[in-house]
């Protein structure tokens, strides 16, 4: 079996409050999506990086992708939700059922090459697959209807899911077809009764969601390039 990546990039990024879709915002002199795509394409195990774009995306084709050495495959089949975009992309990619696919958010630009390599090494013989994740650092409060603290949730054993999330293409397609509006790929696999592995990541692989996240992402990216 082979390794592939699939990057859903068909969202609008409503929480960013910008006209330009989030994945194309300038980040250290490049569109946000450029960073993760470059890291994925540079991994020697990954054969092709599928990018799932909105059917009417007019941005992707404007950039020069020649440094990705022909590994990039844009698919203009994004859906209404992230899960739908991944599902459509998997169908369009025509991968074999037992190919590994690493699904990664365009909005996680600070994925490091060494974490990516470590994840593939840790999961390549796993029966289910798994995800990058970090143990929860903050104390967690459960709110009541008045937005007062009902109780404190024990954070022991709780992890925050990141991407990539790495599964067999056939299993993931099946899982997503059966699930309803899941917020990550692992949730769909879990609904089949399977238990994806948690691979310890670090917080620099955060998802750029709010305007202030841009500042930190730029700092981390500039550091890495020096």
* Region from 104-112, 116-124, 148-156, 164-172 binding ligand C5P, contact rule CB under 6 A: 104-112
Least separation, in Å, of the C-beta of 97 and ligand C5P? 23
What part of residues 47-66 is at the interface with ligand C5P (CB under 6 A)?
52
User: Quick check: 6 and 93 in contact, CB under 8 A?
Assistant: yes
If one asks whether residue 105 binds ligand C5P (CB under 6 A), the answer comes out as yes
User: Quick check: 111 and 205 in contact, CB under 8 A?
Assistant: yes
Cα 185 to Cα 83: distance, rounded to the nearest angstrom: 7
CA-closest candidate to residue 203, choices 142, 162, 149: 162
Tokens representing 72 are 């990039």
Selected binder of ligand C5P within 5, 6, 23, 165 (CB under 6 A)? 23
If one asks whether residue 80 binds ligand C5P (CB under 6 A), the answer comes out as yes
Nearest residue to the partner ligand C5P, using Cβ: 11
Residues in a beta bridge with 189: none
Cα 52 to Cα 82: distance, rounded to the nearest angstrom: 10
If one asks whether residue 31 binds ligand C5P (CB under 6 A), the answer comes out as no
CB-nearer residue toward ligand C5P: 189 or 213: 213
Selected binder of ligand C5P within 27, 72, 106, 123 (CB under 6 A)? 106
* Region from 40-48, 78-86, 131-139, 189-197 binding ligand C5P, contact rule CB under 6 A: 78-86
User: Quick check: 57 and 8 in contact, CB under 8 A?
Assistant: no
């Amino acid at each position: 079996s082979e390794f592939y990546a699939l990057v859903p990039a068909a969202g609008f990024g409503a929480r960013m409050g910008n006209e330009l879709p989030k994945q194309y915002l300038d980040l250290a002199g490049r569109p946000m999506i450029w960073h993760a795509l470059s890291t994925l394409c540079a991994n020697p195990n990954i054969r092709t990086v599928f990018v799932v774009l909105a059917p009417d995306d007019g941005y992707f084709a404007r950039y020069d992708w020649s440094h990705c050495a022909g590994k990039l495959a844009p698919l203009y089949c994004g859906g209404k939700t992230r899960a739908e975009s991944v599902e459509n992309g998997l169908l369009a990619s025509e991968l074999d059922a037992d190919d590994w696919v690493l699904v990664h958010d365009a909005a996680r630009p600070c994925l490091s090459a060494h974490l990516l390599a470590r994840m593939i090494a840790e999961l390549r013989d796993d029966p289910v697959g798994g995800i990058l994740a970090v143990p929860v650092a903050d104390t967690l409060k459960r709110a009541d209807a008045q937005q007062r603290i009902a109780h404190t949730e024990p954070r022991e054993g709780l992890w925050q899911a990141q991407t990539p999330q790495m599964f067999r293409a056939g299993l993931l397609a099946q899982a997503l077809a059966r699930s309803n509006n899941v917020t990550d790929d692992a949730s769909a696999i879990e609904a089949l009764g399977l238990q994806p592995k948690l691979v310890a990541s670090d917080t620099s692989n955060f998802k750029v969601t709010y305007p202030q996240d841009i500042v930190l992402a730029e700092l981390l990216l500039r550091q890495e390039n020096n």
